[in-house]
Chain A
Amino acid sequence: MSEQNVSEPLVSTEGLKKYFKVGKNSYLHAVDGIDLSILPGKTLGVVGESGCGKSTLGRTILKLIQPTQGKIIYDGKDISGYSDSQMHPLRRDMQIIFQDPYSSIDPRMSVIEVIAEYMIIHRVYRTKNEAYQRASELMDLVGLAQRYANSYPHELDGGRRQRIGIARALSLDPKFIVCDEPVSALDVSIQAQILNLLMDLQDELGLAYMFVTHDLSVVKHISDDIMVMYLGKQVEKAPSDELFANPVHPYTQALLSAIPEPNLKRSREKEMHVIRGEVSNPIDPGPGCRFAPRCEYCTEKCRLATPEMTEVAPGHFAACFRITDKEEKAQ
């Protein structure tokens, strides 16, 4: 990792790993050595296709699942070994917004009860009434009309339900929120409303986000920095504009060229760069670059050794032998 910036990161990880046992002696390498850092008030976008471990990463950082190895540093303290009771006070600072607004809310609680629930659990206020009062302020903050306070989740549409999820996550005044695909279940016009809301809240409350998504145009819109994941590994990491202007890893390049752009000229000019094959098996992967089987530049070396993250430009890292080899040649 490069020199730390002047301001200390709020959340960071070092060599974070999460393996799931799937058989007698085999393990699924869901998250495999991730280093990241998120500054207060900033957004890290984590992109990748299904099964690349991005959601597992989000949940591991919040310690909703126990990491197998590595450090999770929150506000200067390594919390990777914390027990549930040690985590409990920290939960107020670290929240999550889930992908599916249909299944992440208790259908038997009214809107106001859902939003007040965390405040009651954490005894933020002395009386329930105060919690409900705060919940109704939160409804205003996320743009939910007060008339829905006593409605039940099934009476609301997806966009409004996602607003409940956001209000609930904000109820404990967190500093850090993991947004796990918060807009992918929504229609585009509603998606734009929610994205704007999340960005406004960040400006207002100084929140740090880890924004997990498979949608590159969304991630570009909302993130300061972006990390691209492939099969549990980080393959490229850079400030948002830099990554889109100058992607160096073959997987990032393929990912960018695969997005259908809603623009006739660009979609016709764009070379269709279809990568062959599919994501390989994450169970007990052998040595070598995880992307090698699908990579058009793959060499012998790629199959045998694992490339490390190397800095290609200030703040821009990628894990590919093409880059390191080029540098060696230059020297």
Chain B
Amino acid sequence: MFKKKKQVTQNMSPVLEELFDPASTDTVIDVRDLWVEYQSDIETVRAVNGIDLTIRRGRTFGLVGETGAGKTTTALSILRLLPAATGRIIKGEIVFNGKDLLELDENLMQAARGNLISMVFQDPMSALNPVYTVGEQIGEAIRLHNPDLTEEDVDKKVEEMLSLVGIMPSRKVEFPHQFSGGMKQRVVIAMALSCEPELLIADEPTTALDVTIQAQVLAMIKDLRDRLGTSMLMITHDLGIVAQTCDDVAVMYAGEIVESGTVEDIFEGEKHHPYTRGLFDSIPDLSSRSERLKPIPGLMPDPTNLPEGCFFAERCPYAEEICTKKHPGVYIEGEHRILCHRFTKEEADE
């Protein structure tokens, strides 16, 4: 077993106690006007550009977008795990149960990670340590956050977590390489849930898995969420997964949320951001006869050199003069928010 017994958890401070209190608000996390940059000697990458997102208690929030849209950066900012040398939160608030996480000191933040917010990464093969058994690795997480538990209690909890994710508890003595990809992802999920977090961030949890295994893992995640009442931030590029698992959705493009709303708003609403529409048109439809796809022309703008106007203007079929000159404002209809001149202009005309 582990030799090191370093305790990271401090005696629970009043702030953390307050953070623990789930009854305090209806929203679990509220990200307000978040700006994140990666800085190197030669350039500055503007990864996240003023996003707002709110995850309500017990709901699953889908964050959709293509490579480089800023999805993972947003998740890492919430956990304050951005690479220290380059990543920087320029501005914004990340309010968790009424407290701004960006103002916590590192010790408290460390206690909050895992206990309150935990994360499942995309690649289960690299998220596990190959030289420890899975039981030891799940146990480590439990022990770190509950220093008072005896070894037997930890052991019992490990077995409980494994059976929760559908793995035989007797397999806790096995090493990661003895598990298949889908099973490894279950182990990682067991680890993330072992301290009963209020918010689970799942960063493309099934991208590395085959479809039939993906279906198993998604069904399990859904079932666990219903049973434990965990709120979830589901990061994915797959609109199918969003339709299947999420309650609320935000579409990210070039570090901005270009459209957000309930899953009904995004999938069935009338008005859409042209980028959202483009994403849907790019996917071959399974149920109708295949026509020619309508891809979005061009590429995402260079995040080191973002245009002045709308970031999507260059690829947008509806772009007008104003789009290249002025950054669009938000059009709001209930919970449905669209960042596009087309709709704000209509509003102004009326």
Contact = CB atoms under 8 A, between A and B. Distances in A.
Interface of A: 49-50, 157, 159, 187-193, 195-196, 199, 214, 216-218, 220-222, 241, 244, 254-255, 257-267, 272-276, 278-279
Given A159-B299, A189-B278, A192-B295, A260 B240 contact: yes
Nearest to B219: A274
B67 A187 contact: yes
Nearest to A275: B212
Given A189-B278, A274-B216, A49 B210 contact: yes
B32 to A, nearest CB: 28
Interface stretch (B135-143, B263-271, B319-327): B263-271
Interface string B203-247: 000000011111110110000000000000000011111111000
B104 interface: no
Of the listed residues B239, B280, B284, B294, the one surrounded by the most CB atoms of chain A closer than 10 A to its CB is: B284
Interface in B293-346: 293-297, 299
Contacts of B67: 187
Interface residues of B, number: 45
Given A262-B239, A264-B264, A267-B244, A217 B213 contact: no
B286 interface: yes
B240 to A, nearest CB: 3
A267 B215 CA distance: 12
A259 B215 CA distance: 8
20 contacts: A49-B210, A188-B66, A188-B282, A192-B293, A192-B295, A193-B295, A196-B293, A217-B283, A258-B212, A260-B238, A260-B241, A261-B243, A261-B286, A262-B238, A262-B242, A264-B263, A266-B287, A267-B243, A272-B219, A274-B219
A190 B295 contact: yes
B286 A195 contact: no
Nearest to A157: B299
Contact of A258 (B214, B237, B238, B243): B214
B279 interface: yes
B244 A260 contact: yes
Given A189-B279, A189-B296, A278 B243 contact: no
Given A191-B295, A192-B294, 18 more contacts: A49-B210, A50-B210, A187-B66, A188-B66, A188-B237, A192-B296, A195-B293, A196-B292, A196-B293, A216-B211, A260-B238, A261-B244, A262-B239, A263-B243, A264-B263, A274-B212, A276-B216, A278-B183
A140 B297 CA distance: 16
A222 B183 CA distance: 33
A214 B210 contact: yes
B163 to A, nearest CB: 16
A45 to B, nearest CB: 12
Contacts of B214: 258, 260
B4 interface: no
A261 B240 contact: yes
Contact of B286 (A214, A216, A275): A216
Of the listed residues A195, A265, A272, A274, the one surrounded by the most CB atoms of chain B closer than 10 A to its CB is: A274
Contacts of A196: 292-293, 295
B284 A195 contact: yes
A189 B268 CA distance: 20
Contacts of B182: 278
Contacts of A214: 210-211
B244 A217 contact: no
B13 interface: no
B107 interface: no
